[in-house]
Amino acid sequence: MNNTTKAADRTADAFGPDVQETSSQHPAMRLLLTNEFGLIALILVFAVLFTLLNPGFVSKFSLFAMGRTAAVNIMIGFSMMVVIITGGLNLSVGSIGVCAAMAAGWLMQSLGLPWYLSLVGGLGVGGALGALNGIVIVRSGLHSFIITLASMSIFFGVMIFLTHAGSFREIAPEVVAPGRMKFFGVISPLLLITFVVAGLLSVLFRFTATGRQMLAVGASPQAAELSGIRVQRMTVWCHALSGVLAGVAGLMLVSRTGAAIPSMAGQLGQDWLLPAFLGPVLGGTLLTGGRASVLGTLLGAFLVTMLTTGLLLLQIAAFWVQTYLGLLLLVAVLMDLLRRSYLARKKLV
Amino acid sequence: MNSQLANYRESDWFGPLLITVAAIVIVSVFNPEFLSPYNLQILLLAIAVNALIALSQMMIIAIGQMNLSVGAIGGLAAISFGGMMEVWLIPWPVAALLALGIGLFAGIANGVLVAWTGISAFVITLASLSIFKGINLGITEAQPFYKIPEIVKLLGNETFLGPLPWLILPTVVVAVGLWYLLSFLPLGRFILAVGGNAHSAELSGISVAKTVVAAHAISGLLAAMAGIMLVGRLQLGQPTIGDDWLILSFAAPVIGGAVLTGGKVSVAGTLLGVTIVVIINQVLVLFNIDPFLVQVVLGGLILWAVGVNRWREVRAQKTEKRLAA
C-alpha cells in the first residue's frame, strides 16, 4: 500500500510543480525552487558573463556552432534519461551511438542504399542493440550497470572488428546538408530535430499510457506489477528507446562531420558518458527512477554545452574543460541534495 | 576426503583455477612457445599491473559500490610520478611515494564525498573521473613525460630470478596484505559487513562512513600503484595511462566470484580472473587473431561470469528453501 502511494507521488512529480498544491506554499515560490528555473537562471548568468568577457560569444557563428553541439549533447542526455527513469542506467549509449552511425555509413557506402533507408537502418540497429540490453537485463535479473558495461565492450568490439577500424566517408549529401545548413544564419536544423524529439518525449511521458507506465515501473516495480503493468516489457521498451535516441545522436554527428568514424565517441564510446549523465542529473531526473524532466535534461545539456563553448572561447581552459565539467556534475548533485533537504525541512514537498 | 573435494568445488576460486590450468595446458600444446621463460616474463608483467587494477576495483565492490575513477586516479598518479622526476628532478623513490599519496588522497576524496553526501558512488566517481582526468590533461597538455630514470625503466622490465619480474613483488605483497586484511583484521571484516548489509552493520556498531572512506582510500592507493608501475613498464609517463582500465577492473573480480551488491569478494579469485584475461590477450596475439576481438571477449567474459554467479545464487536460494521446507 505504502509503495503504491509513493509511486503515485513520484509519478505526479513528472507533471511539473503545479500538480501538487498544498495550502502552505506560494505558487511563485515553488516555481523558483524548480530545477528548470535554476537552470534558466544559470544559463542567463553565464551567457551575460561570457558575452561581457568576449563579445564574440554571441556572434552568429558562435551561436550556430553552440546550437549544433547542444543538439547532439541533448540527444545523448535523452538517451540516458529514458533508461534512468526505470531506475537503471545504460553505459553503452556511446557504443550504441557509434554502432548505429557506422551501420548507416555502411548501408550508404557499401550497399549503396538510398540515404533515408540507411538512416532508418542505422536507427534500427540502435534500437535493436538497446532492446538486446533490455532483454538480457530482465531475463537475468542482474543490474543494468554490469550488463551494459559488458555490452558496451562487446558492441564496440564487434563494430571495430567488422569495420577494421575504418571510416565511411561517402555519406549522401542529403545527410550531410543539415549539418552545414543554417536557418536565419544561426539555427542549425539539427537543433530543430532535437526540439521535435523533445516534444515527442514530453508527449510520451505526459499524455500516453505507455509513458506513464514507464515512469510507474521506475518509481516502484512491485507497485507497477501489482497494478497490472508488464514491468519487464516496459524495461525492454525503455532500453530500445534509449538505443534509438543514441542512434539519432550518432547520426547527427555523422551529419556534422560528414563521415562515420569509429573513434567519434572515444574508446568504447566512453566520451559520451559524462554528457549523458550531466544533462539528466542537472535537469533533476532522479537516478532512482520514476521521474523524468524532458525540459530539465534539455536545459542541463544546453548549459553544459554553453559552459564548454565559453571556456574554450576564453582560451583559459582548453585542457581543463573536463575538470570543470566534473566539478559541475559534483556541484549539481550537491545543490540538488541541499534543495531537497530545504524542501523537506520547509515541508514544501 | 570426498566432502573436502566438494568444498573446494563450491569455493569461488575453483572454477577460475580449473579454467586457468586448462587454458595453460591447451595453449602450450598448440604453441610450446607459450611456456618459454620470455613469454612467462611478459605474462607475469601483465598480471602484476592488471592485478593491482582489479584489486583496486575489488575493494569498492566489497562495500557494494563501484569506482569509475580507478583509471583516472592511476593516470593522474602516473603522470605526477613522471612529471615530478622530469620537471622537479625529485629522486624516484620520493616521487613514487608522493604519487602514491596523490592516489590515496584521491581515494579519500571519493570516499568522503560518497559517505558524507549519501549520493551514489556511481555519480560521485563519474564526476571525479572527469576531474582527475581533466587535471591530468591540464598538467600534461596531452604530452607524455619522457625523462624517466634508467633504474625505474629497469625495475619496470627486468627480472630478478628466472622469469620473475621485479614488478611482481609489490603485487604479491598487496595481494597477501589484502587477503590478510579481509580474512583476519577488523577493518576487513567491517568492509565485508558493510557490503553485505550496511544497515545491520551500522546497527552492530560499525561506523559505515569510516569503513566506506577506508575502502575508497585503499582503492585509490592501489590504482596509483598500478599507474606508477606502468610508467616503469612503458618507460614513459603517458597521459593515456588508465583510459582502458574500466572493463578489466570489473571483469577480473566478477570472474573471481565477486558479488556486485557487495559483501563477497575473493583475492585469489580476482588474481585468477586477471590471469585468465591476460592469457586470453596473449593467445589472441600468439595465434594472430584480430586484437580488436579482445573487447568482445572481455565483455563476453563479464556476462558469462555474472551469469554463473547469479545461477549459483539462485541455486543456493533453492537449496535453502528446500532445507527449510
Indicate yes or no: CB of B124 within 8 angstroms of CB of A153: no
pLDDT at residue A177 is higher than 90: no
Work out the number of other CB atoms within 10 angstroms of the CB of residue A36.
18
DSSP notation for A41-103 = HHHHHHHHHHHHH-GGGGSHHHHHHHHHHHHHHHHHHHHHHHHHTTT---TTHHHHHHHHHHH
Sequence-distant (≥ 6) Cβ neighbours of residue A333 within 8 angstroms: A281, B117, B119, B123, B124, B127
In a domain, A141, yes or no: yes
Q: What is the pLDDT of residue B5?
A: 62
In a domain, A21, yes or no: no
**What's the mean pLDDT when you consider all of chain B?**
90
Q: Output the nine-digit C-alpha cell for B113.
A: 564525498
Q: What is the pLDDT of residue A290?
A: 80
Rounded average pLDDT over B102-115? 96
Give the structural domain span for A202.
70-295
Helix (H) or strand (E) holding B164: strand B164-165
Domains in chain B, CATH or no CATH each? 14-324 (1.10.3470.10)
Q: What is the pLDDT of residue B288?
A: 77
Q: What is the pLDDT of residue A25?
A: 56
pLDDT at residue B325 is higher than 80: no
- What are the residues facing B165 on neighbouring strands? B159
Indicate yes or no: CB of A327 within 8 angstroms of CB of B117: no
Rounded average pLDDT over B272-289? 86
Q: What is the pLDDT of residue A150?
A: 93
Share above pLDDT 90 across residues of chain B, in percent, rounded to a whole number: 55
In a domain, A317, yes or no: no
Sequence-distant (≥ 6) Cβ neighbours of residue B235 within 8 angstroms: B148, B153, B156, B157
In a domain, A268, yes or no: yes
Give B147-200 pLDDT, tens digit per residue. 889 998 888 888 888 888 999 999 999 999 999 999 999 999 999 999 998 889
Q: What is the pLDDT of residue B192?
A: 94
Work out the number of other CB atoms within 10 angstroms of the CB of residue A192.
14
Give chain A's contact residues with B (Cβ, < 8 Å).
Answer: 89, 136, 140-143, 145-147, 149-154, 156-158, 160-161, 165, 267-268, 270, 273-274, 277, 281, 287, 319-327, 329-330, 333-334, 337
Q: How many CA atoms lie within 13 A of B322 on its CB side?
A: 6
- A111, burial (CB in 10 Å: exposed 0-12, middle 13-18, buried 19+): exposed
In a domain, A87, yes or no: yes
Rounded average pLDDT over A11-29? 47
Rounded average pLDDT over A214-221? 89
CA distance B209 to B34: 47
Give A128-172 pLDDT, tens digit per residue. 999 999 999 999 888 899 999 999 999 999 999 898 888 898 888
Q: What is the pLDDT of residue A28?
A: 65
CA distance A222 to B312: 25
Rounded average pLDDT over B15-25? 86
Q: Does B250 touch chain A (CB under 8 A)?
A: yes
Q: What is the 8-class DSSP label of residue B32?
A: G
Radius of gyration of chain B measured on its C-alpha atoms = 20
In a domain, A2, yes or no: no
For helices B186-196 and B208-234, angle between their N-to-C axes, nearest 10 degrees? 110
In a domain, A250, yes or no: yes
Give A42-64 pLDDT, tens digit per residue. 889 889 988 998 888 888 888 89
Give A75-128 pLDDT, tens digit per residue. 999 999 999 999 899 999 999 999 999 999 999 998 888 999 999 999 999 999
Q: Output the nine-digit C-alpha cell for A235.
A: 524495461
Nearest chain B Cα distance for residue A278, angstroms = 9
**What's the mean pLDDT when you consider all of chain A?**
85
Q: How many domains does chain A have?
A: 1
pLDDT at residue A268 is higher than 90: no
Q: Does B64 touch chain A (CB under 8 A)?
A: no
Q: Output the nine-digit C-alpha cell for A106.
A: 555502411
Q: What is the pLDDT of residue A2?
A: 41
Q: What is the pLDDT of residue A125?
A: 96
Interface test with B, best of A92, A102, A154 (most B CBs within 10 A): A154
Q: What is the pLDDT of residue A21?
A: 40
Q: Does B155 touch chain A (CB under 8 A)?
A: no
pLDDT at residue A287 is higher than 80: no
Residues 165-194 of chain B whose Cβ lies under 8 A from any Cβ of chain A: none
Nearest one of A156, A133, A128 to B293, comparing CA atoms: A156
Work out the number of other CB atoms within 10 angstroms of the CB of residue A345.
8
Q: What is the pLDDT of residue A6?
A: 41
Rounded average pLDDT over A309-324? 81
pLDDT tier at A16 (50, 70, 90 boundaries)?
Answer: very low
Q: Output the nine-digit C-alpha cell for B165.
A: 619480474
Q: What is the pLDDT of residue A18?
A: 39
Rounded average pLDDT over A230-257? 94
Residues 295-314 of chain B whose Cβ lies under 8 A from any Cβ of chain A: 295-300, 302-303, 306-307, 310
Rounded average pLDDT over A276-302? 86
pLDDT at residue B15 is higher than 60: yes
ipTM: 0.84
In a domain, A91, yes or no: yes
pLDDT at residue B299 is higher than 70: yes
